[in-house]
Amino acid sequence: MDEFEATRALGALAQPTRLAVFRLLVREGPAGLPAGEVAARLGVQPATLSFHLAQLERAGLLAARRQSRQILYAADFAAMGALVGFLLDDCCHGHPEVCAGLDAAEERAGRAAAKVEV
């Protein structure tokens, strides 16, 4: 991910409705949710939501697939991982103070791993 893609992804998430959309779709997992359902749950007009979904998709944070009459949107977890990787790595060069406190998320991920001082 380069600086251009990063500003796109950051900009896509830097708006309350879009951040809410992404968070909702993260909870729904790979199956995703039809656009109309997202609009209904968040109380957003279909046309307005469509605008925001397009931005998130253009930034690569959502994947869209049609299923019959509906279009299902799902969060792209790898893309979010790439964005976080950009922030930690390219942007902050793995600075210790930035990385401190990241263990909680990793542990919650349920990865069977433990840290051992060497």
Interface residue list for DNA (CB under 7 A): 11, 15, 17, 34-37, 39, 44-55, 64, 66, 68-71
Cβ nearer to DNA, comparing 24 with 88: 24
Residues 52 and 89 sit within 8 Å (Cβ to Cβ): no
CB of 99 to DNA, least distance (A): 28
Residue 84 touches which of its own copies, DNA, none (Cβ within 5-8 Å per kind): its own copies
Dihedral sign for Cα 19, 24, 27, 32, please: negative
Q: SS3 of 58, please?
A: helix
- Cα separation, 76 vs 78, in Å, equals 6
CB of 70 to DNA, least distance (A): 3
